[in-house]
Each structure stands twice: as C-alpha cells, then as structure tokens.
Structure 1
Amino acid sequence: IGSEAIGRIVDGGSLSGFAPYLGWLLVPWAVGAVKRAWRESRTQQQSEQAQQRRYEERLAVVREVHDVVGHGLAVINLQAGVALHVLDRRPEQAEIALSAIKQASKDSLDELRATLAVFRHADGAAPLRPMPGLGDLPDLVSSVRVGGLATELSITGQPRAAPSSVDLAAYRIVQESLTNVVRHARASYVTVTVDYQQDAIAVRVVDDGIGPMPGPDAGQGVTGMRERAASLGGRLSAGRGDSGGFVVDAWLPLPDRVLDSDSGSVGDESAEPSSIAAEQLSGRPR
C-alpha cells in the first residue's frame, strides 16, 4: 500500500479498509517476535544447563578430594599420636605406627592422583589405578584398626557385582564415616556392616563415641555422603544412636540389569572391579 493511499484512508476516516492489510503486516512481525523469544529462551536454558553441569562437576571433585585427603590425614594424625605416646616406652610399636603413617600417605597420594585422573580424562581413558570399591573395605578397616580403634567389618547377604558408581559410593560412605569416627567421635569401637539386599546395597556404620558434634563445620561430611546416595537414587541418614554414639545408614539401589543378571555381570561399566569386590568380600580366592 502506498503512502498516498494510506493517507487517503486515514483522512477519510476509513480505517476499516486498512485492517486487512494491517493484519498481514503484523503476522511476520509476530512470527519474528516468537522466534526471537524462543531463541533467547533456548540460549538461556542452555547456559543454565552448562552452569549446572559445571557446578556438579566441581562438587564431585570437591567431594572426592575431601574424602580421600580427609581420611588419609585422619589416619596419619591417629598414628602420629600413637607414635608419640609410645616412643619412649615401646619403640617397636612406635615404629609400626610410623610405618602406618608412611603407608597411609602413599595410599592417599596414589588415590588422589587416580581420582584427579578420572576428572582430567574427559575422553573416558581409564586411570592408571582403579577407583576403590567394596573389595577394598578390609584394607580400609585395617588402616583404622592398626591405630588402636577396635573396628569390625561384617558382610551379610550374598556379595555380588555392582555398578562402579554404587561400588565407589558405598566405599566412600564407609571411608567418610570412619574418618569422622577417628576425628570427632572419641570412640573405642566401631562396626561396619554391608548388607547385600535383593534390590540394593545397604551400609551401616555404628560407633560408641560421644555422638554428633556441634559447630559450624559439623555435618559437612554427612552432607557429602547424602549427596552421593541421592545421586544414585538412594538415601542416607546420620545421627545419634538409640544407646548413644553415632549411626550412619545408607541405602543404594541396584539397577534392574544387575538384578536380572544371574552371573553378576553388569556390562562395560563395572564388571571387572565389582566382580573383584564380590570375590574379596565373600572370601573366594581370585
């Protein structure tokens, strides 16, 4: 429509004649506005998703490093206290404690390198050292027991292969629980129970210490354990026991493909490490 024609329509007061043309002019504008809004919304959504992924990755790194370094330092601190206490009277026991310190520091460094390698190799390349799992619990318990804390490991149900994610989470929950016992509980005895249920692996750690610790830093390790369990669709509770002390209960579900497998194999994700774990916990020779 020319400007003169529009002018005549407006001057003549006949806007109704212009309405059909106005509609055709508004359609492309409306379509363009909708497309722009959709693109902006999609860009914002992608940005938020990328930001959430980065946050979750950082959280995973922090959680792993916290558990690895925290446990190693707790064991080293415990053994150093033992060495100082018996150095003059029982030098042979002090030597054992110092050897335990050396081994704990080496294990922590090796595990830290393996942990960082997992996050560094985004292409899926396997780390030089496999991540720990339920098969490593006897060694974990021994590292605490040698420091003088009476520690018992009990396995119930039929040990079987589990996905590496569940295997690692169960190990880390026990590790962090024992670290808290060593650092805060003033306990003399702690029991670790791993129960292989029909559809899940349940972990329970109980000590006879002083119970929950107050303070601003209290509960950070428990928060990390809850996040681990929740990320797998499980749950975790922690608090004072009925007769005192502190109790950690975790329930980690097993995927359907594990439940349906008679052989215990779980595919490419974790068959080798988890099969080893099942053999070690059940006492079968490898």
Structure 2
Amino acid sequence: MSGHLRLLFGRRARRRWIHLILGGALAMPYVFVGQLVVGPATDSRYVFNDLPLQLLSFAVGLPLAAVTAALFPLTRSLEAGAVRSLCGVDAGLLAHGPARTRAAKGRTAAWFTLHLGFGGIISGMSLAVPPFAGFLAALPLIVWLGGAEFVELPEALDHTWVLALAPLAGVATLLALACCAAAAGTLLARWAPALLGPAPEDRLAAAEARAADLAVRNRLARELHDSVGHALSAVTLQASAARRVLDTDPEFVREALAAIEDTTRRTVGELDAVLGVLRDGDAPGTAPAPTLGGDLDCLLRRTRAGGTRVTATVGIDPEALPPVLSREAYRIVQEGLSNALRHAGERVTVTLRIEAADGQLAITVENPLDHAPVCRPGGGHGLRGIADRARLLGGTTEAGPAPGMWRLHVRLPLKGPA
C-alpha cells in the first residue's frame, strides 16, 4: 500500500507533477493565440466560458508550439534541463546542446508538443478537480447544516445514501487526478531519452571532445612525468654522490649542491608551466617549454654533476629544428637519461644524428647493462610516454636490451604530421 502511495504522491511523482504544471503554463500563450483564431471562426464572443471552444483553442495552439520548438534550437537544451531536474532522467541519456539537425529539431518539436499537451490537460484538471472533490467531501455537512437551499443540487443527490458516499467520491476523484498526473509524468520520462536524447552527430561530437580532453591530459601527464621524474632521478643521484665524498672532495660536493639547486629551480619553473595549462588552458605568461636547441647543454651538465659520465655526439644544429620537434626531442632525451640514471652502470652514451637518406632525426641512448632490467611496480610509464611522443610526430621507437647494454632508439621525421 505504501509503495502505491509513493508512486502517486512520492517525491519523484510530485516533481513530475510540477513539470507538467510548467508545461501547462507554457501552453497558455498558445491557447490565447488559439482563442484569437477559434473566436472569429466560430463567431463566438465568449470563448472563455465555453469548454468545447477552450479545448478547440488548445488543440489549435499545440501546432504553433511545435513550430516554435522547431524554429528555436535552444528549446532542446531548456527542456532537457527541466527533464533532468524534475523527471529524474539520467543526464547521460539526454542531449546537452541545442538541436542542430532537422531530425533533432523534429524530435524536439514532438517532445515540446507532448509536454505542453499533457501539461495543459493535467494543469486544467489540477485547477478544477480539487475544488470539486472538496465540495463532494463537504456535501453531507452542507446539507446537515441546512445549506442545501443555497446550493442547487441535482435530484440524484437528494438520496441519503448518495450523500453518504459523496466524501468517498471526492477522495476517489483526487486519487484519479493523482493517477493521471503520475501516468502522464511516467510517460514523458520514458519518452524523454528518445525525443531529447543525443543524435549520432551529438554522440560523435561528445566522443571527439572527450578524446581531445584525454589527449590534453595525457600530454600534461607526459610533461609532468618527464620533467619531474628526471629532476628527482638527477637530484637523487647528485645527493648520493655528494654524500659519499662529503669528507674527501668538498669541491665536488659544492658542484653537486649547485647542480641540485639549478635542477630544482628549473623543474619548479616547468611544473608551474604545466600547472598553468591545467588552470588556465593556455597558461599565458608561463615559462616556455625547454627545447633541444636551448636546453640540451644544461641538461647534460646537470646529469654529469651527479658523477655520471655522459658522452654526447650531436651531429646536427639543434637550433635549426622545428620548435615542436625540438621540444619533443628534448623530452625524449630527458626521459632516456632518466631511465639510464635509474638503471645504468658507470657510463651513459647519448647520440643524436640526422640520417640524410630519409631526413630523420635519430636519437639513441645507450648504457651498459650488467644485469637483467628490473621492472618496478607501476613503472614503465616513461617508455610509453616516449612511444606516444614519437607516434604523434610520425616516428618510431625501439627500446630493449642489446649485447651488453640497454638501447633506446627513436626516429623522428623532420617533416611529419602536425
């Protein structure tokens, strides 16, 4: 019993009833326009006092509502918002933008017509039925107090048993109103995803927007991993080397501390730039991303400050590289050095060259491998980031053990996809 009452008078039923009342309110201007048409057409001066003419005016106004919904694309956004808030329909089943295509406008017009049609009927019933039900409930008391002479009652109500059943009839009338409102609200909630739901074009646009958002997030994740990860690896190595020679080589300790200071300062600047993109989209005014042409020497100097021997053979002019290629190549070299710092022995060799045969930039990072590489739990993101960067530029990546060493080889076309 309580479940049935909840279906008729629960929170969801009440909110859907309000949604129908709003539909009736939206229908009123169209009813007034319908009266302007029906009155002269039927030669009737008092349309307000004639229920059949009122219903006819309502029927004439509904097509006008459909035309309005088709002409104004924002109708779908407004109706979808009302359905999400009042009808309890999942937001994922409804479109979020205005109707653009002809099919979407047609579905929106159909929905708007149904909303105003059901809403107008339920609104009219909500205005008329409660007073009538109250009159039936109070009718025995009115007759008992002698008020029947002031109220013209039909002859059928003169019977005592009819008067006794009048309150029950009033309650039944209210229940019928609640049933009609609940049924109309349920039907509209069931039809809303089909009529206000996203079209294939909307789903495609949402998927493209989601893909673009994921691409930006992945790019920022790569930037954070490469810059902060390299800085932490370098600082750890420099601090460890300084600790070992703290009492025997103060000059090296001073150089290591200076390198740690320089590394952390530059990393904080890069971190601010990435966080600025997260906050502001384009992060105007933040520090530019490091490139191969302007920052390679600093990168190698910071890496060597930890005691690691780095031999770099640069057979190109880094300043002549395109900005995007130079930036991504710097990150690839940085991550390659970070991996070498984590796993290498005493020497790391970095080689950059351009192969004239096919016009590609080849980046090779090699370090001695005295034992099988150990995979850290949750590790491996650096190599995936390198592969992602190379793939976005149309290049290839090869990484794995070679005879006596670990070798990372990346090839990037000088003129690849944007």
TM-score normalized by the length of structure 1: 0.70
SS in 2 for 1:191: strand
User: Could you tell me whether the CA contact under 8 Å between 1:188 and 1:209 is conserved in 2?
Assistant: no
Q: Which amino acid aligns with 2:394?
A: G
Shift in Å, 1:53 = 0.9
Q: What residue in structure 2 maps to residue 111 of structure 1?
A: 270
Q: Which amino acid aligns with 1:96?
A: E
- Tell me, yes or no, if structure 1 residue 194 matches structure 2 residue 355: no
Q: What residue in structure 2 maps to residue 203 of structure 1?
A: 363
Kindly provide the CA deviation profile for residues 37-68 of structure 1, in whole angstroms up to 9, marking residues without a partner as x: 99610111111111111111111111101111
Match of 1:139 among 290, 294, 298: 298
Match of 2:223 among 64, 72, 82: 64
The structure whose Rg is larger is 2
Q: Which amino acid aligns with 1:176?
A: E
- Tell me, yes or no, if structure 1 residue 252 matches structure 2 residue 412: yes
Shift in Å, 1:118 = 4.8
Q: Which amino acid aligns with 1:203?
A: I
Matches within 5 A, 1:139-158: 139-157=298-316
Assess, with a 3 A threshold, how the Cα gap between structure 1 residues 256 and 169 changes in structure 2: closer, same or farther: closer
Match of 2:242 among 74, 83, 91: 83
Shift in Å, 1:145 = 1.0
Where structure 1 has 5 or more consecutive residues not aligned to the other structure, the ranges are: 1-30, 258-268, 270-286
SS in 2 for 1:250: strand
SS in 2 for 1:103: helix
- Tell me, yes or no, if structure 1 residue 98 matches structure 2 residue 257: yes
Query: What is the distance in 2 between the residues matched to 1:130 and 1:229?
Result: 21
Query: What is the distance in 2 between the residues matched to 1:149 and 1:69?
Result: 19
User: Could you tell me whether the CA contact under 8 Å between 2:390 and 2:412 is conserved in 1?
Assistant: yes
Q: What residue in structure 2 maps to residue 233 of structure 1?
A: 394
Assess, with a 3 A threshold, how the Cα gap between structure 1 residues 82 and 150 changes in structure 2: closer, same or farther: same
Shift in Å, 1:218 = 3.6
SS in 1 for 2:299: helix
Kindly provide the CA deviation profile for residues 154-197 of structure 1, in whole angstroms up to 9, marking residues without a partner as x: 01256562222211111101100111111222x21111111123
Q: What residue in structure 1 maps to residue 341 of structure 2?
A: 182
Query: What is the distance in 2 between the residues matched to 1:56 and 1:64?
Result: 12
Assess, with a 3 A threshold, how the Cα gap between structure 1 residues 120 and 41 changes in structure 2: closer, same or farther: same
SS in 1 for 2:251: helix
Q: Which amino acid aligns with 1:206?
A: E
SS in 2 for 1:251: strand
Q: Which amino acid aligns with 1:72?
A: A
Shift in Å, 1:93 = 2.2
Equivalent pairs counted in the alignment come to 225
Q: Which amino acid aligns with 2:409?
A: D
Q: Percent identity over the alignment? A: 36
User: Could you tell me whether the CA contact under 8 Å between 1:72 and 1:105 is conserved in 2?
Assistant: yes
Q: Which has the higher contact order (CA 8 A, sep 6+)?
A: 1
Q: CA RMSD in A?
A: 2.7
Shift in Å, 1:148 = 0.9
Assess, with a 3 A threshold, how the Cα gap between structure 1 residues 123 and 71 changes in structure 2: closer, same or farther: closer
Match of 1:167 among 326, 346, 358: 326
SS in 1 for 2:320: coil
User: Could you tell me whether the CA contact under 8 Å between 1:159 and 1:196 is conserved in 2?
Assistant: no
